[in-house]
Amino acid sequence: MSYEQATVRPEPTVLPSNEGHHLHFLNHLATIKIRGNDAGSMSVVEFVGPKDFGPPLHRHDFEDELFIVLEGEIVFRSGDLEIEAQAGTHAFLPHGRPHTFQVLSDTARFTCVTASTTTTPEFDMMVEALGTATVTPTLPEPGPIDPALVAEICAQHGIEILGPPPAPLS
């Protein structure tokens, strides 16, 4: 099944590991697997992030997130909660609660499922708006990130930036 077919739901969808819409997104690789749309209540995006990568502290207005760590180690932070997660770990981060995470290993591969019962999920749209399409699913060369643009695009998709990204651990 092609990526385009996978975005038309509610048909069943099966995508091999290297298929989807690949984007260089904020210095890491994002692959949109399932798009949120009016016919469905979730989006699915797989990420590969380098050591120290982490998004700014933020809060989703409408979407819950479920992270599944596939490879590597990540620390998840929300309020007083700080948990180091290895491959096989699932982390549920409900909407309305500030959170962030950070890659601890050299790289980490993880899936983020966003879901909402009140609105069409837009997380995948935010990723696409800030990303640059790429044919090859590889990590991009690190480059500058415009925090004001990130905050603006996130706000357009129901995500409020509340603080900076985590400080590098190395």
Q: Burial-class residue 106 by CB neighbours within 10 Å (0-12, 13-18, 19+).
A: exposed
Pairwise CA distance, residues 153 & 125, whole Å = 10
Cβ within 8 Å of residue 94, ≥6 positions away = 64
pLDDT computed for residue 2 by the predictor: 46
Q: Which CATH superfamily is domain 3-161 in?
A: Jelly Rolls (2.60.120.10)
pLDDT computed for residue 38 by the predictor: 61
Tokens 């985590």 -> residue: 166
Pairwise CA distance, residues 161 & 60, whole Å = 9
Whole-model pTM over 0.85 = yes
- For the chain, the domains span 3-161
Per DSSP bridges, beta strands 28-34 and 21-25 are antiparallel
Q: Which residue stretches of the chain have pLDDT < 70?
A: 1-10, 38-40, 170
pLDDT computed for residue 9 by the predictor: 47
- Amino acid (1-letter code) at residue 36: G
